[in-house]
Chain A
Amino acid sequence: MSTATVGRLSSRERFDEASVAEDVAIFSAFTISATLWLLITTAIGLLLSFKFTYPDLATNPFLSFGRLRAIHTNGTFYGWASLALTGLAFYIAARSSGIHLRQKRLAWAALWSYNIAAVLGGITLDLGISNGSQEYREWVWWVAAFFLLAVVLSGVVVVATVMARREREIYIANWYTIGGFIFTTILGVTAAIPIYQYGLGQVAVQGFYMHNAVGMWFTFLALGVTYYSLPKLLNRPIYSYALGVLGFWTNLVFYPVIGAHHYEFSPLPWWFQTLAIVFSVGMLVPVWAGTGNFWLTMRGRWATVRRSYALPFFFVGVLYYFVGSTQGTVEAFRSLQAIWHLTNFTVGHSHLTMYGFITFIAWGGIYGLLPMATGKRPPLLLVGLHFWLAFLGVTIYVLVLSVAGTVQGITWANGDPFIASVEAAAPYWSGRAVSGTMMLLAHVIFAYNVWRMTLAPTPTATSSSPMSLAAESAHE
């Protein structure tokens, strides 16, 4: 909306205009701070990847592998992906409800709370203050509390907005995002209470927690973003509303059961592990329902996908959701865990899902929706460069680490001396550093593009093709 028309609006409309402008500011602020966390934490990830090849590089307590690894994982999870997807969830809640965002002060408070958590989490972990190297809950409780507060505040904003909607039905995208905020609140409280978690009991809770932190938070938010953005960007309805509902409930019931597959062959009860493996197969239902639904929505519109800024990111995100989650099911079988468990294969899998799926969906959402909100478009050439560097980077990353994990597992099974597994994986670790460099370069380009979509002074004419602009803005 241009400011030139403000003079002719009634006071009610002017209020709405200011309100919508604040929505855009909130969406922009979430995206900008998410992008800063992406840059910082993936730069750290790249440093870590070089330490595999040069173990005496940057030997300093504050730059040591064991401290920075948790900053990389928690920072990408709770800084980058959580902020980016929450910003998108706010915008989607407002737009799909045909209104402006409710409880905006809580939205700003959530922004602060997320960032305070990520800053304090980074500082404490770098000082060696941690909740015990338990993946994705390394932050001590008073740091995690800021994150949890942000999740609750964000959930209130989205629920309040959807409750005030103009349409009768709650759009399926909002089911998923609202679900993500609710589940993560319950999960966070469950994980943070220490009084029932000792020894092997804590192992069981950790399996539950680490899988649900990914599956009940990022998966739900990313699916919500996809359910809104794909129909919006393609200008056609989602293929099947019912498949979306099926995916919602099956995700909700199957995901919480599969956590113990992270501890196969551990002293956790054998039947408990078997149950997790069985439900890992059950996960094919929501995954194939979701990906099938998205592909059938894209079907026959590949020319539009190719010309768009955002849709190629969604295409890769959906593809790697399918590949990564199906791999997760197969990987859970005991015969394969016997070789792949505890190897780099797991690290490849986690990047396939958290990067290939979650991060690509977040990028798709940002490139698809942020220019609609701000009226500023990034240069298409740089969006393309971002896409190809990130896509090739993560693909190479996952391939080399999958091979590295396999050779590690084989040397162990052969009964070779342990150091043989280190030597066998070494070339692939160099490959990981190369692909990681491509990914970080992609993030720098993305950061520039975010600046162009938000803070850059004027919406300049860009090199983007008029066709793609028309395709993306026709329905705005």
Chain B
Amino acid sequence: MDNVRVLVLSAAGVYAFMALVMGVIPGTILSKTPPTPGLVPLDAAAARGRDVYVGEGCSYCHTQQVRPLAQDRVWGRPSRGGDYAFSTPQLLGSERTGPDLSNIGVRQPSDVWQSIHLYEPRALVHGSIMPAYPWMFVAKDHAAPDDVVVSVPPEYAPPGKVIVATHEEQDLVAYLKSLKQPPLPSRAPSP
């Protein structure tokens, strides 16, 4: 090959075609996947909470994809394309250092549990290596009337203080509680 223009144009042409066929067209078609029946869009608090989830990089350790494999049954039913209809940016994740969260709103619906766990995971789960998120809370001497107080076990809280959830933390918990897989019609075969 002795013509740079030919090399540049042919390489660019082939790759542009591949990007169209393997990226743009599948993306366009699959973006139109209709929502799973029963899937509800996030409310305002949960949508803000999802932004916190994205910004903190939760999905580097927590997947949101249940595979059609026996070992994944514990996380819920196998995920369907329509489960992600309201999920942009997508948060399927690539590593499962912590549990899958596709159905965490069903598996762990308690605000109190989620908040204590975010403040210090090891207060609730022995052996957990999840990071603690104390900056999503405020330690106060006395709670104000409209404060959301989190009942952190005393050995994990600063002495003489009450732990109050920030709005950011409440939004994040609202998002986690919203993660519920809509049940499939009963005739759908279970793999």
Q: Chain A residues in contact with chain B, CB under 8 A?
A: 51-52, 55-56, 59-61, 64-67, 69-70, 127-135, 159, 162-163, 168-170, 175, 178-179, 182-183, 186-187, 190-191, 196-206, 208-209, 212, 216, 245, 252-253, 256-257, 259, 262-263, 265-269, 272, 338, 341-344, 346-347, 408, 412-413, 415, 418-419, 422-423, 426
Stretch in contact with the other chain, from B87-95, B141-149, B157-165, B174-182:
B87-95
B37 interface hit (Cβ, 8 Å) = no
- Within 8 Å by CB of B122, from A55, A162, A196, lies A55
Shortest distance from the beta carbon of A34 to any chain B beta carbon, whole Å:
25
Shortest distance from the beta carbon of B109 to any chain A beta carbon, whole Å:
18
| Besides A69-B60, A267-B78, 17 new A-B residue pairs in contact (Cβ under 8 A), listed by A number | A65-B60, A128-B52, A130-B54, A133-B58, A133-B91, A159-B8, A168-B2, A182-B11, A199-B31, A199-B87, A201-B30, A202-B89, A202-B90, A205-B26, A208-B23, A257-B18, A413-B70
A263, B1: Cα distance in complex, Å? 38
A267 touches B80 (CB 8 A): yes
Q: Count residues on chain B whose CB falls below 8 Å from chain A CBs.
A: 75
Closest 4 CB pairs of A and B: A132-B89, A66-B57, A201-B31, A128-B55
A383, B184: Cα distance in complex, Å? 61
23 A-B residue pairings within 8 Å (CB atoms): A51-B131, A55-B132, A60-B135, A64-B133, A66-B60, A67-B56, A135-B94, A168-B2, A178-B7, A179-B11, A183-B15, A196-B28, A200-B30, A202-B89, A208-B27, A252-B18, A253-B18, A267-B79, A342-B63, A412-B71, A415-B71, A419-B126, A419-B127
Residues of B within 8 A of A64 (CB): 56-57, 131, 133
A408, B87: Cα distance in complex, Å? 28
Shortest distance from the beta carbon of A337 to any chain B beta carbon, whole Å:
9
CB contact under 8 A between A133 and B11, given known A208-B22, A342-B95? no
B106-145 interface with A by 8 A CB criterion: 121-122, 125-135
B183 interface hit (Cβ, 8 Å) = no
A191, B89: Cα distance in complex, Å? 13
Shortest distance from the beta carbon of B72 to any chain A beta carbon, whole Å:
8
Residues of B within 8 A of A168 (CB): 2
Residues of B within 8 A of A67 (CB): 55-57
Residues of B within 8 A of A252 (CB): 11, 14-15, 18
A267 touches B31 (CB 8 A): no
B154 interface hit (Cβ, 8 Å) = no
A190, B71: Cα distance in complex, Å? 36
B11 touches A183 (CB 8 A): yes
Shortest distance from the beta carbon of A362 to any chain B beta carbon, whole Å:
23
